[in-house]
Amino acid sequence: MRDFLPVAAQARNLLAPLVPGELDDERARRLYAVHTWSWLTEPGDGVAGRLVAALGHEAALNEVIAGGRDGVAKDAASIGEKEWADARARWLPRLDPDGVRQALEIARRAGLSLLTSEDAGWPAGLEDLGPHAPMLLWVRGDAGALTRTPRSVALVGARAATAYGEHVAIELAADLVAHGVSIVSGAAYGIDGAAHRAALAAGGTTVALLAGGVDRPYPTGHSQLIERVAATGAVVSEVPCGTAPTKWRFLARNRLIAALADATVVVEAGMRSGSLNTAGHAATLARPLGAVPGPVTSAASAGCHRLLREFDARCVTSADDVRELLGAEPQTLFDLAASGAHRTDDTTRVRDAMSFRSWRPTAEIARRSGLAPGDVTGILGLLALDGHVVGGGEGWRRTRHGGGG
Amino acid sequence: MRDFLPVAAQARNLLAPLVPGELDDERARRLYAVHTWSWLTEPGDGVAGRLVAALGHEAALNEVIAGGRDGVAKDAASIGEKEWADARARWLPRLDPDGVRQALEIARRAGLSLLTSEDAGWPAGLEDLGPHAPMLLWVRGDAGALTRTPRSVALVGARAATAYGEHVAIELAADLVAHGVSIVSGAAYGIDGAAHRAALAAGGTTVALLAGGVDRPYPTGHSQLIERVAATGAVVSEVPCGTAPTKWRFLARNRLIAALADATVVVEAGMRSGSLNTAGHAATLARPLGAVPGPVTSAASAGCHRLLREFDARCVTSADDVRELLGAEPQTLFDLAASGAHRTDDTTRVRDAMSFRSWRPTAEIARRSGLAPGDVTGILGLLALDGHVVGGGEGWRRTRHGGGG
Q: What span, in angstroms and rounded, lies between the C-alpha atoms of B130 and A361?
A: 13
High-pLDDT (> 70) share of chain B, %: 92
What confidence tens digit (pLDDT) does each residue in B22-66 have? 899 999 999 999 999 999 999 999 999 999 999 999 999 998 988
* pTM metric for this prediction: 0.77
The set of long-range contacts for B311-316, using a CB threshold of 8 Å and a minimum separation of 24, is: B311/A385, B311/B279, B311/B280, B311/B283, B313/B266, B313/B279, B313/B289, B314/A309, B314/B288, B314/B289, B314/B290, B315/A293, B315/A305, B315/A308, B315/A309, B315/A315, B315/B290, B315/B291, B316/A296, B316/B172, B316/B265, B316/B290, B316/B291, B316/B292
Q: What span, in angstroms and rounded, lies between the C-alpha atoms of A104 and A91?
A: 19
A46 CB neighbours in chain B (<8 A) are 362-363, 366, 372-374, 376-377
Which of A386-400, B92-106, B352-366 tops mean pLDDT?
A: B92-106
A391 CB neighbours in chain B (<8 A) are 284
pLDDT tops 80 at residue A206: yes
Q: What span, in angstroms and rounded, lies between the C-alpha atoms of A169 and A178?
A: 14
Give B6→chain A minimum CA distance, Å: 29
Beta B113-115 vs B389-392: how paired, if at all? unpaired
When mean pLDDT is compared across B61-75, B109-123, B188-202, B311-325, the lowest value belongs to B61-75
DSSP B150: S
Q: What is the pLDDT of residue B123?
A: 96
Average pLDDT over all residues of chain A: 88
Q: What span, in angstroms and rounded, lies between the C-alpha atoms of A234 and A257?
A: 13
Q: Do B363 and A314 touch (CB under 8 A)?
A: no
Residue of A nearest to B292 (CA): A296
pLDDT tops 70 at residue A260: yes
Q: What is the pLDDT of residue B3?
A: 58
Q: What is the pLDDT of residue A8?
A: 84
Give A18→chain B minimum CA distance, Å: 28
B272 CB neighbours in chain A (<8 A) are 336, 339, 341-342
Q: What span, in angstroms and rounded, lies between the C-alpha atoms of A50 and A32?
A: 19
Residue in A303, A328, A325 with CA at minimum distance from that of residue A316: A325
Q: Do A374 and B272 touch (CB under 8 A)?
A: no
High-pLDDT (> 90) share of chain A, %: 66
Residue B151, beta-bridge partner list: B181
Q: What is the pLDDT of residue B68?
A: 67
DSSP string, B249-262: HHHHHHHHHHHHSS
What confidence tens digit (pLDDT) does each residue in B99-138 have? 999 999 999 999 999 999 999 999 999 999 999 999 999 9
Q: What span, in angstroms and rounded, lies between the C-alpha atoms of A262 and A259?
A: 7
High-pLDDT (> 90) share of chain B, %: 65
DSSP B145: G
When mean pLDDT is compared across A289-293, A345-349, B267-271, the lowest value belongs to A345-349
B321 CB neighbours in chain A (<8 A) are 309
Which of B82, B317, B369 is the mutation pick for testing A, counting most A CBs within 10 A? B317
pLDDT tops 90 at residue A330: no
Residue B217 pLDDT grade (very low, low, confident, very high; cuts 50, 70, 90): very high
User: Which domains are seen in chain A, by residue range?
Assistant: 8-109 (no CATH), 124-325 (3.40.50.450), 336-398 (1.10.10.10)
A236/B286: higher pLDDT: A236
Contact between B42 and B248 (Cβ < 8 Å) = yes
User: Span A216-244, mean pLDDT?
Assistant: 96
Residue in A111, A285, A255 with CA at minimum distance from that of residue A184: A255
Q: What is the pLDDT of residue A331?
A: 35
Q: H or E stretch including A138? A: strand A137-141
- Spell out the residues 6+ positions from residue A200 whose beta carbon is closer than 8 angstroms to its own: A206, A228, A229, A232, A233
Q: What is the pLDDT of residue A388?
A: 83
Q: What is the pLDDT of residue B341?
A: 35
CA distances from residue B257 to A76, A231, A341, B193 in whole angstroms, order as listed: 65, 58, 22, 14
Q: What is the pLDDT of residue A393?
A: 75
When mean pLDDT is compared across A160-174, A376-390, B128-142, the lowest value belongs to A376-390
Q: Do B280 and A321 touch (CB under 8 A)?
A: no
User: Cα–Cα–Cα angle for A73, A77, A83, nearest 5°?
Assistant: 85
Which of B298, B315, B318, B375 is the mutation pick for testing A, counting most A CBs within 10 A? B315
Residue B271 pLDDT grade (very low, low, confident, very high; cuts 50, 70, 90): very high
pLDDT tops 50 at residue B404: no
Residue among A306, A334, A381 whose CB faces B306 most closely = A334
When mean pLDDT is compared across A20-29, A44-53, A133-142, B333-342, the lowest value belongs to B333-342
What is the complex's ipTM, to 2 decimals? 0.73
Q: What is the pLDDT of residue B290?
A: 97
Q: What is the pLDDT of residue A401?
A: 57
